[in-house]
Amino acid sequence: MSELPTVSLRARTPDDLDVLFSIAADLATWEERNPSAPAPLTRERFDARLAAPGNTSEDTVNFVVDVDGVAVGSASLFGYDSFAHHAEVGISLVREARGRSIGTAAIVQLVEFGFVRRNLRRIHLQAIASNAGAIRAYEKAGFVIEGRQRQHAWVRGTYEDIVVMGILRSEPTLAS
């Protein structure tokens, strides 16, 4: 396998907001990132959502995906179950960062953070079945397909399956 690019996960800064807004407002990829119905997103609404107290759970961990000092996306751990020690992962990248193994490198780091720093036992995610690039990236990072929710998502005029994937701390990853 080719070498993964140098990617870092870091805290959000005010300089990142334009990139993060461009991802959040991208209607072309809305369904890959969001279970709600597509709708135009204004900058004012985006900024208000970020500033709103309690807009995410205390357990949610949000990172900016950074390549050479430039924000190219976001990655999060959310939906923590503190009893069973699992959480869900999500990632969004600008179009120019896709297909370059940046997502794989970011997911590997996020998984390592979840297992080592947050003591998670399992991390899971959901992907639209037609998003083959994302599914390949998750598989390269060590995730396995655990199941499928048939015709579970309405995506650009058609119903699509949701692929459920997961990884256990005891399984090998690219970081191990």
CATH number at residue 147: 3.40.630.30
Largest CA distance in the chain: 44
In a domain, 125, yes or no: yes
Residues with Cβ within 8 Å of 23's Cβ and at least 6 positions away in sequence, in order, are 29, 33, 73, 74, 92, 93, 94
| Residue 113 to residue 115: CA distance in whole angstroms | 6
Query: Average model confidence (pLDDT) for the chain?
Result: 90
pLDDT recorded at residue 1: 46
| Residue 137 to residue 93: CA distance in whole angstroms | 13
Q: What is the pLDDT of residues 17-41, one digit of tens each?
A: 999 999 998 888 877 777 778 888 8
Which structure tokens are listed for 164? 């459920």
- Burial class of residue 7 in the structure, from the number of CB atoms within 10 Å of its CB (0-12 exposed, 13-18 middle, 19+ buried): buried
Q: What is the pLDDT of residues 151-174, one digit of tens each?
A: 998 888 899 999 999 999 998 776
Q: Rounded to two decimals, what is the model's pTM?
A: 0.88
pLDDT recorded at residue 132: 93
* Structural domain boundaries, residue 114: 8-168
Question: What pLDDT band is residue 78 in, cutting at 50, 70 and 90?
Answer: very high
Percent of the chain with pLDDT over 70: 93
| pLDDT: which is higher, 134 or 31 | 134
- Is pLDDT above 70 for 99? yes
Tell me, rounded to whole angstroms, the distance of Cα 85 from its chain centroid: 19
Number of domains composing the chain = 1
